[in-house]
Amino acid sequence: MNILTIILAAGKGTRMKSKKEKVLHKVAGKPMIDYVIDTAKNVSNKIIVVVNNEQQELISHLQNKNIDFAFQENQLGTGDAVKAAVKAISEYNGKVLILCGDMPLVEDESLKEFIEKSKDNKVSLISTFMDDPTGYGRIIRDGKKDFLKIVEEKDANELEKKINEINTGIYLVDFQYLKDALEKLNNNNAQGEYYLTDIVKPGSFVFSVEDSEQFIGINDRIALSHASKIIYRKRALNFMKNGVTIIDPETCYIDESVKIEKDVTIYPNVYLEGNTTIEEGCTIYPGVRIIDSIIKQNCTIKDNTLIEESNVGENSTIGPMAHLRPGSILEGDNKIGNFVETKKITFGKGSKASHLTYLGDAEIGKNVNVGCGTITCNYDGFSKHKTVIGDDVFVGSDVQFVAPVKIGKGALIAAGSTITKDVPEDALAITRAEQKNIEGWVPKWKAKKSKKQEK
Ligand code: UD1
Ligand code: CA
């Protein structure tokens, strides 16, 4: 069937109290309008999004999404918004599906069923039942339970407010009928707006759906958080069905774009974002956030670790409290321990940096042991310089590499050294001041101090 979808997104979004367009606010990591567009694409052949001229951020966000725009000049209500879309359509005599940009949870299946069941009617809508219907338009039925009209919250009397069957704001309308009905709208109501709800005439077909969760309209930040929770939980359950252990699906925040293989275990309060893949057998402990990264098989990411745009090779252990900044490429069997920060490095197979270290702009070979407190001094205040460390190098604790500097294979850097010159293969490099021991010095010093105090 030929279906054209109109998505309304030109509203002011006042209740959000935000500088940002309402429909660009993210629900579970993805702008809410994107959910609506994805759903619309699955049930229709053409999409028109109604925006207003001031929504530059929204307009550029929607570029290249294969949709058309209609511009609503003044925000005179949902009826006026649809009018703007209708004006932009020159010739058409099929069905129009109307969706709101602030309803990201609607499922394809519900829309498909709705379209199928209502295709023989001139105008129909979806209703559902909310435990708390506050804010929604109420479905008013006559004595025979047939549809009579929709009454908005602000126009409703006390009795009508008690009705919990609500208008989801989803309609299927014949284009010709829609055009005529819009012409007849007036704004004689509490908000002085042209209500789209008034196009639905008494006796019209109402498709009632039990599952109300998917029809949440996001008008404020409370609904925003509520909708996010629902989506995050759904995603978590889906991963669980596919062999991922999630200790607490209520506190597991996974973006739609993330891939997780089976036998991964995820502890509470974990955020997995963007283009991230977690391969088979990994364990992600509490408080971890991973963005645009690949974690290869059988890695353990310990508590409170942040990984950004990095690659962690198989069988590695990262954290607790480690920070892999963009461009950290770990080749596998690695250990990055407590309070270690890395940035733009390659770290060869089997290499380790277990404690309190900064490695930036470095090329580090295989089986290198980086001692506690090691720092690559990569920045001279003007530009960044590189540290290159060969295979099998042993770096003692508290070493500074003043880059640019190269350490040959198999070298040993003594603890406490500041390395400013290249070190040849298999050499020992040591830059410590010589130690002096003065025997019996402490008792004499203490005696002198206490005499002074007596005075
Ligand atoms: C609307 C319905 C209400 C329904 C609810 C479902 C009307 C009058 N009311 O109320 O019956 O229960 O949705 O969530 O239709 N918009 C424009 N231009 C405008 C005004 C709004 O494009 O001038 C867009 C908004 O950006 C939004 C959508 O239309 O995406 C709905 O508008 P909103 O103000 O959120 O309507 P509700 O009060 O939620
Ligand atoms: Ca709304």
322-372 pLDDT, tens digit per residue, is: 999 999 999 999 999 999 999 999 999 999 999 999 999 999 999 999 999
**Tokens describing residue 204:** 């019209």
> What is d(CA 314, CA 298) in angstroms, rounded to the nearest whole number?
6
| pLDDT tens sequence across 260-277 | 999 999 999 999 999 999
> What is d(CA 387, CA 402) in angstroms, rounded to the nearest whole number?
8
> Residue 9 Cα, ligand 1 centroid: separation in angstroms?
9
The residue annotated as part of the active site, out of 25, 226, 355, 385, is: 355
| pLDDT tens sequence across 89-103 | 988 989 999 999 999
Nearest ligand 1 atom to the CA of 74 is 23
**Contact (CB, 8 A) for 442 and 426:** no
> Residue 198 Cα, ligand 1 centroid: separation in angstroms?
13
Using the Cα atoms of residue 443, residue 445, residue 447 and residue 450 in order, give the sign of their dihedral.
negative
User: Nearest Cα to 209, choosing from 102, 125, 101, 133?
Assistant: 125
Smallest CA separation from ligand 1 atom 10, residue: 136
What percentage of residues in the chain have a pLDDT greater than 90? 98
**Tokens describing residue 307:** 């990984």
Residues 31-39, mean pLDDT to the nearest whole number: 98
Residue 166 Cβ contacting ligand 1 at under 6 Å: yes
> Residue 184 Cα, ligand 2 centroid: separation in angstroms?
23
Whole-number pLDDT of residue 1: 85
Which residues surround the ion ligand 2 when the cut-off is CB under 5 Å?
Answer: 102, 217, 219
Q: Which of 74-78, 89-93, 99-103, 125-129 has the lowest mean pLDDT?
A: 89-93
3-state secondary structure the chain: CCEEEEEECCCCCHHHCCCCCHHHCEECCEEHHHHHHHHHHHHCCEEEEEECCCCHHHHHHHCCCCCEEEECCCCCCHHHHHHHHHHCCCCCCCEEEEEECCCCCCCHHHHHHHHHHHCCCCEEEEEEECCCCCCCCEEEECCCCCEEEEECHHHCCHHHHCCCEEEEEEEEEEHHHHHHHHHCCCCCCCCCCCCHHHHCCCCCEEEEECCCHHHCCCCCHHHHHHHHHHHHHHHHHHHHHCCCEECCHHHEEECCCCEECCCCEECCCEEEECCCEECCCCEECCCCEEECCEECCCCEECCCCEEECCEECCCCEECCCCEECCCEEECCCCEEEEEEEEEEEEECCCCEEEEEEEEEEEEECCCCEECCCCEEECECCCCECCEEECCCCEECCCCEEECCEEECCCCEECCCCEECCCECCCCEECCCCCCCCCCCHHHHHHHHHHHHHHC
| pLDDT tens sequence across 304-333 | 999 999 999 999 999 999 999 999 999 999
Smallest CA separation from ligand 1 atom 16, residue: 11
Q: How does residue 78 score in pLDDT terms, banded at 50, 70 and 90?
A: very high
**Polymer length of the chain:** 455
**Contact (CB, 8 A) for 378 and 361:** yes
Whole-number pLDDT of residue 59: 97
Active-site residue 25, yes or no? no
| Position 64 pLDDT exceeds 80 | yes
> What is d(CA 358, CA 336) in angstroms, rounded to the nearest whole number?
11
Nearest ligand 1 atom to the CA of 152 is 11
Nearest ligand 1 atom to the CA of 77 is 23
Residue 78 Cβ contacting ligand 1 at under 6 Å: yes
**Contact (CB, 8 A) for 165 and 208:** yes
Whole-number pLDDT of residue 452: 85
Nearest ligand 1 atom to the CA of 168 is 6
| pLDDT tens sequence across 419-435 | 999 999 999 999 999 99
Residue 137 Cβ contacting ligand 1 at under 6 Å: yes
Residue 133 Cβ contacting ligand 1 at under 6 Å: no
> Residue 26 Cα, ligand 2 centroid: separation in angstroms?
15
> Residue 340 Cα, ligand 2 centroid: separation in angstroms?
46
Question: How many CA atoms within 13 Å lie on the side-chain side of 19?
Answer: 0
**Contact (CB, 8 A) for 49 and 9:** yes
Smallest CA separation from ligand 1 atom 14, residue: 217
Q: Give the Å distances, CA to CA, from 180 to 89, 248, 266.
A: 14, 52, 55
Residues 128-143, mean pLDDT to the nearest whole number: 97
Residue 72 Cβ contacting ligand 1 at under 6 Å: yes
Using the Cα atoms of residue 249, residue 250, residue 253 and residue 254 in order, give the sign of their dihedral.
positive
> Residue 11 Cα, ligand 1 centroid: separation in angstroms?
7
| Position 455 pLDDT exceeds 80 | no
| Position 161 pLDDT exceeds 90 | yes
Residue 76 Cβ contacting ligand 1 at under 6 Å: yes
Question: How many CA atoms within 13 Å lie on the side-chain side of 165?
Answer: 17
Ligand nearest to the CA of 133: 1
Amino acid identity at 154: K
Nearest ligand 1 atom to the CA of 12 is 26
Whole-number pLDDT of residue 90: 83
What percentage of residues in the chain have a pLDDT greater than 70? 100
Using the Cα atoms of residue 81, residue 86, residue 89 and residue 93 in order, give the sign of their dihedral.
positive
Ligand nearest to the CA of 101: 1
